[in-house]
Amino acid sequence: MALPTLTPEQRADALAKAAEARKARSELLASIKSGERTIASVLDKAKDDKTIGKTKVAALLKAVPGLGAVKVAALLEQAGIDPDRRAAGLGERQRAALLDALN
């Protein structure tokens, strides 16, 4: 499937929108890293907040102080969550299993 041809204005709008999304995601991960937000509160808002919903669960967990790639992979496996799953795609059982595994 070929990508549609964009006008220069459409391309500029798309680039601006992508930059805004990256900035919002960066701020989200920084707030988790600093302790302003908890994983539980972030996952609660995943269905409503587009920025949180489109962020991968692994990236959210890696932002938690003390959790690195190996621990995150183990947590996701223990909770039965695919490493590529996005936050909005988590079911209630997966979310509960992940929060139980964190505690």
Q: What is the distance between the alpha carbons of residues 42 and 37, in angstroms, rounded to a whole number?
A: 7
Work out how many domains the chain is built from and give that number: 1
Residue 33 lies in a domain: yes
Q: What pLDDT score does 3 carry?
A: 80
Regions of the chain where pLDDT drops below 50 = none
Q: What pLDDT score does 102 carry?
A: 85
Residue 7 lies in a domain: no
Q: What pLDDT score does 1 carry?
A: 73
String of b and e for 12-48 (b: at least 16 CB within 10 Å)? eeeeeeeeeeeebbeebbeebeeeebebeebbeebee
- Residue 46 belongs to what domain range? 14-102
Residue 42 lies in a domain: yes
Residue 9 lies in a domain: no
Q: What CATH number does residue 68 fall under? A: 1.10.8.50
Residue 57 lies in a domain: yes
The answer to whether 57 and 85 are in contact (CB under 8 A) is yes
Q: What pLDDT score does 85 carry?
A: 94
Residue 2 lies in a domain: no
Residues 6+ apart with CB under 8 A from 80: 94, 97
Reported pTM = 0.85
Residue 64 lies in a domain: yes
pLDDT tens sequence across 56-85:
999 999 999 999 999 999 999 988 999 999
